[in-house]
Each structure stands twice: as C-alpha cells, then as structure tokens.
Amino acid sequence: MEFERINISYFLIICKVEFTFFSKRFKIHNPLIIMVLQKLSLLNYKNLESETFDFDPKINCFVGNNGVGKTNVLDAIYHLSFGKSYFNPITTQNIKHGTDFFVVEGMYAKKNTAEKIVVSAKKGQKKVIKRNGKAYERFSDHIGFLPLVIISPADRDLIIEGSDTRRKFIDGVISQRDSEYLHNLIKYNKVLAQRNSLLKYFVANNTFNQDTLDIYNEQLHVFGTSIFGKRTAFLEEFLPIFLNRYKSISSGNEQINLIYESQLQENDLLTLLQNNVAKDRMAQYTNFGIHKDDLILEIDGHPIKKFGSQGQQKSYLIALKLAQFDFIKTHSKTNPILLLDDIFDKLDETRVAHLISLVDDENFGQIFISDTHAERTEEVIKKVRQTYKMFPLGNQEKE
C-alpha cells in the first residue's frame, strides 16, 4: 500500500508539472461566455410597425436610405440591454406615432441557454422588462446581464456637452459590471432630490431644521463616498486601456489624458455638506457631492473640445468606446454586443477599417452595423473572415 501511495503521488506531481508547462506554453485562458442575439422582433417601436430579424452570430448590417429606421433597429437592441433608448430616454416618445404601445423582444443564446428578453411600454402605464416571462421588480437588476457598447455620432456629446454626459459615461461602464455601484447611485440620486426639495421647502415656508438636513447629509455621505471610491478605482484601471487604444488608432504623437475631477478629492462629503449649509439654503439646491464630478478629456495638456482637431476628436471618442468594450469584456468574461451606428459616413476609411478589423478574430462577439450604402458596407465586411448578413430596409416613415 505504501508503494502504491508513492507511485500515485509521483504520478500527480508529474501531471501537475506537465500541465503547468502546457498552460504557460500555450497560454490557456478561461473561455469567454458566448452571447448571441439570435432574433429580434419589434412592434410599434419608433417608426417601425412590425419587423422580425434572424441574425448571424457574427456580423449584421442594416442598410438603406436615411430615415428608413436603421438606427432605430440598433436602438431597439440597446433597449434590450439597458431598458431604455440610447437616443431618447423618454419612453412615450419611442412609441410609434398613432399607436399607444411598443414591444421589443429579443431571443438570445448565452452560455448555451436560451434567454428571452421583452421590453414593453404602454401610454399611461409603467414600462415592463421581462426575462423568460418573469418581470423584473427593479430594472437595475437587468443592467449588465447583456453587455453592450454602442459607437454613434451622438458620442460627440461626450466632448461638447456638460459634465452630466461624461458622468453618465462613467456610470454606464461601471454599472455593467458592478450592481452595487448602480444601486448606490440610484439611492444617492433619490436622497439628493429629497434634500433639494427640503431646501426649497425651507425657503418657501421661512423655516429651517438642521436635524432633518443632517439625516440627508449622512445618507449622501455614505452613498457618495462609495461611488467616489469606485469611480476613482475605475479611472485608474481604465486610463491605461484607453491610452493603448488611442495609440493603436492614431497616427499622431499627441499626448492624451483622462482626468477625474471631484470635490471629494479635497474633503470628505459630510464635511463639505456641513460647511456649506448657508450656500445650499440660498441656492435651494445641493452644491457639493459626486453629482458635480467631471471627466476632463485632454490632448497635449489642453481640453480636446477646444484644442483637438476633428480627426483627433474622432479618434479620442473611438478609443473611449473601445476601451469601454475591453473593460466590460474583462470584467464580465463576455464579449459585449457592439453597435456601430452610421460609422461609414462619419469616419474616414482608416478608422472604419480599424473598427471592422476588430471582428476578424474568433474571440470577438456579435456586431451590428447601420449604413446608407449596401455596396460599401459589404465590400468592407468581405475583407474580414467572418460570416455576415445584410438587411436592406426601405419604404418606411422618417425616423
């Protein structure tokens, strides 16, 4: 028996050594979760009355003239992942004119399991999101289940609009992999609205109650501190990914940077709130907190909004979105679905070629493209080694 134990132990040691060598030699990695949108059905969504699409697991292209609904199909796919439109978050405005409801249904295969997601809305009623027939009690529980990244001309808002747009970008990336972050953000915004209402009440009724205000201060401090910490950690991890992506698509030597700005870098939130009560009472809203954070987009030490060329701004935005893709892929162990809206008309040939080359990899996920020229799209797609489907759209109302 002792001899058998020695032999077995020796055998296990040899196996372990050989497997370790094999793993290092061939770089074995944990496989990514395979997720594919197989079928999409739309009813009264924006300008689309009734449409059904059966998709290729790799590349899918919607082509047709401006106004036929190409972007709306991509937006419907986005809706299935986030429970809202990317372009118009007002639910009733996503219902086809002349009707009072819409339904978006997606059939997915994820980890070899069928997943049916349905988003529906009716005027005068709350939106409903169902997974396999069961409605979510909290929409936030669905975020991150179907990872997705969109690249669109609307992304330019990240550069030209205010800090709120850039905070939403940060929140959107983190929330797809951290449900606690999203729940704390929802709670923070709820308490913030209550505190602002209280400040208005004080002025309207010529009264003041510090004890009540302190309750909101404590809650904002707890949620805000957690959010600040996670935003800080996110930027530390995200920045190198972004820099690497920008370098790969830009031919210039410009130095680019992302800088996270927050009032909480100067002092803790509770102290900021307590020290600025008079200012908040006069303004009737909360002047300090993570709702004032910003992400500074820089090129050569200056704001890219003022000092970046159009080409540099386009490269910057694409790098941001591709870094988002990489970040989510790493943390979710899933290839996000990638939506490319109207990229051929808005980007030069070099940048388009770089984007499309991403799918020329067996480990890449599913991609959806919209374009006005079928021939141009197909010519580019044929250069990659992946299967694809073309979906001509036409004879629709204006988007």
Burial class (CB in 10 A: 0-12, 13-18, 19+), 178: middle
Per-residue pLDDT of 269-302, as tens digits, reads 999 999 999 999 999 999 999 999 999 999 999 9
Q: Which pLDDT value is given to residue 395?
A: 55
Binding residues: 64-71
- What is the predicted pLDDT for the residue at 29? 52
Terminal C-alpha separation, the chain:
79
Residue 30 confidence (pLDDT): 53
Task: Provide the domain limits for residue 278.
Answer: 159-331
**Residue pair 313/159 in contact by the 8 Å Cβ criterion:** yes
User: Looking at the structure, do residues 194 and 78 belong to the same domain, yes or no?
Assistant: no
Number of independent structural domains in the chain? 2
pTM to 2 decimal places: 0.88
Do 324 and 339 reside in the same domain of the chain?
no
Residues 242 and 98 in one domain: no
Q: Are residues 164 and 197 in the same domain?
A: yes
CA-nearest of 97, 106, 102, 49 to 74 is 106
pLDDT bracket for residue 399 (50, 70, 90): very low
Same domain assignment for residues 187 and 320: yes
DSSP of 126-161: --EEEETTEE-SSGGGTTTSS-EEEE-GGGGHHHHS
Boundary-marking domain end, from 331, 359, 381: 331
CATH code, 269: 1.20.1050.90
Own/partner pairs, 124-130, CB within 8 angstroms, 24+ separation: 124/100, 127/83, 127/91, 129/83
115, two tokens: 């997943």
Asked if pLDDT for residue 356 goes beyond 80, the answer is: no
The CATH code of the domain that includes 61 is 3.40.50.300
Looking at 331, 356, 383, which one is the last position of a domain? Answer: 331
Residues 370 and 241 in one domain: no
Same domain, 209 and 322: yes
Claim to verify: residue 175 and residue 317 sit in the same structural domain? yes
Indicate whether 11 belongs to any domain. no
Average pLDDT over residues 167-179: 96
Flag whether 359 is in a domain. yes
Position 172 in a domain: yes
Q: Quick one: DSSP state of residue 309?
A: -
Buried b (16+ CB within 10 A) or exposed e, 2-16: eeeeeeeeeeeeeee
Domain contains 16: no
Q: Is residue 363's pLDDT more than 70? A: no
Q: 57 and 111 in one domain?
A: yes
Amino acid at 147: P
Other C-beta atoms closer than 10 Å to the C-beta of 306 total 8
- 230 and 339 together in one domain: no
> At 48, is the pLDDT very low, low, confident or very high (cuts 50, 70, 90)?
very high
Residue at which a domain ends, from 331, 350, 371: 331
Same domain, yes or no, for 305 and 226? yes
The per-type count for the chain, helices as H runs and strands as E runs, is 13, 14
pLDDT, position 380: 84
Per-residue pLDDT tens for 61-104? 999 998 899 999 999 999 999 999 999 989 999 999 999 999 99
Q: Which residue numbers belong to the known binding site for ATP?
A: 64-71
In terms of domains, do 363 and 220 share one? no
Percent of the residues in the chain that have a pLDDT greater than 70, as a whole number: 89
Q: Give 271-279 contacts, CB < 8 A, sequence gap 24+.
A: 273/217, 273/220, 273/221, 274/217, 277/210, 277/213
